[in-house]
Structure 1
């Protein structure tokens, strides 16, 4: 069966396999997007939370993405390519008068 990914996904990382950090963020939602980007390219990625108890260490924490050491360079390249691509923002400002015309006179 053919897949859309550039590479076939491999087995999940083994517990003794060396994993390296390729991305970190304070926003879990951003980490989920980046993990999806990597996995759609055939790179297994694990998300790890670095959250600390907020009553003891407020503002400390975040989320990191770990990949196999041999996938790290490709993962970083994909992340950088994604960051450099122009945003596809559907909420960009639009001049609605071009689409609906002028209001009728009363």
Structure 2
């Protein structure tokens, strides 16, 4: 018989409510970008789901892509996490017009 594991209250995950509404917090034509956002949300403790629509972009432009869904109650927090990441120095554009530094 399997042994039951007792976790502290703050470590127990709430069972998903099948009636809870999911809302879109991110969409992209590139699945890889949606997966990065999904990982970012997971690291912030926000459960999410990536839903992809496979449609060839060269045949059906604007159709398809991927969306990231979260529980309605976590949507604002998820949007804040995404926005904070977009504004962080880690995601700043790299200026490729400059010559790379010379090792000396």
Please indicate, yes or no, whether the TM-score normalized by the shorter chain is above 0.5: yes
Is there any run of 5+ residues in structure 2 with no aligned partner, and where? 1-6
Q: Determine if contact 1:9/1:43 at 8 Å carries over to the other structure.
A: no
1:21 aligns with 2:24: yes
Q: Which residue is equivalent to 2:84? A: 81
Q: Determine if contact 1:12/1:44 at 8 Å carries over to the other structure.
A: no
Distance 2:40 2:49 in 1: 12
Distance 1:77 1:49 in 2: 23
Aligned residues: 92
RMSD: 3.2
Q: Of 35, 39, 42, which aligns to 1:32?
A: 35
Corresponding residue SS for 2:32: helix
Shift of 1:95: 1.3
Task: With the length of structure 2 as denominator, give the TM-score of the two structures.
Answer: 0.71
Task: With the length of structure 1 as denominator, give the TM-score of the two structures.
Answer: 0.69
Q: Of 47, 57, 60, which aligns to 1:58?
A: 60
